[in-house]
């Protein structure tokens, strides 16, 4: 049973990526290996690193473990309020069907008139409505 974490701290993906590159790591797998070496673990903490890099809400200790491998302070990786607002705004636009834009396509018809089609992307099966480009009225 997968439960959504109600508490925890989220890491900033851009800050993680920047710290990862600054530490000389090209992949998350290299970060996993570094944590395994530092902590002397038998099993690599892949799911922990994956959750942190995905931006899931995690225990502060999890971010500290990743930060130690990246040679940065844990607080430097925390998601700040400006990044959170930006992320929420992007997610709202992507999931809100009222924010979906209509896509217009021009098509050259046989009688040499430009016909423009409007496709409503906010519904599951798009409805195509042609109208004349010269009069902008429905055909």
Q: Give the mean pLDDT of the chain.
A: 77
Residues 119-133, mean pLDDT to the nearest whole number: 51
Does pLDDT of 135 surpass 60? no
Name the residue with higher pLDDT: 68 or 129. 68
Using pLDDT thresholds of 50, 70 and 90, give the confidence band for residue 86: confident
For residue 5, what pLDDT is reported? 47
Q: Which residues pair with 11 in a beta bridge?
A: 78
What's the token pair of residue 17? 């990526």
* Domains present along the chain, CATH in parentheses: 13-93 (1.10.260.40), 99-132 (no CATH)
Does pLDDT of 133 surpass 80? no
- Find the largest Cα–Cα distance for the chain: 75
For residue 75, what pLDDT is reported? 93
Does pLDDT of 43 surpass 90? yes
List, in order, residues 6 or more apart from 43 with CB less than 8 Å away: 36
What's the pTM value of the predicted model, to 2 decimals? 0.60
d(CA 135, CA 72): 62
For residue 109, what pLDDT is reported? 46
For residue 1, what pLDDT is reported? 55
């Amino acid at each position: 049973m997968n439960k959504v974490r109600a508490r925890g701290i989220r890491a900033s993906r851009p800050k993680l990526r920047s710290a990862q590159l600054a530490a000389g790591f090209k992949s998350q797998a290299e970060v996993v290996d570094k944590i395994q070496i530092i902590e002397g673990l038998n099993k690599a903490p892949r799911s922990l690193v994956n959750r942190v890099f995905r931006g899931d809400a995690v225990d502060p200790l999890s971010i500290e473990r990743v930060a130690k491998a990246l040679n940065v302070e844990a607080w430097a990786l925390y998601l700040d309020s400006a990044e959170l607002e930006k992320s929420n705004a992007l997610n709202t636009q992507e999931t809100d069907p009222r924010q979906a834009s209509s896509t217009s396509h021009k098509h050259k018809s046989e009688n040499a008139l430009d016909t423009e089609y409007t496709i409503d992307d906010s519904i599951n099966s798009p409805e195509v409505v042609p109208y004349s480009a010269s009069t902008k009225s429905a055909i």
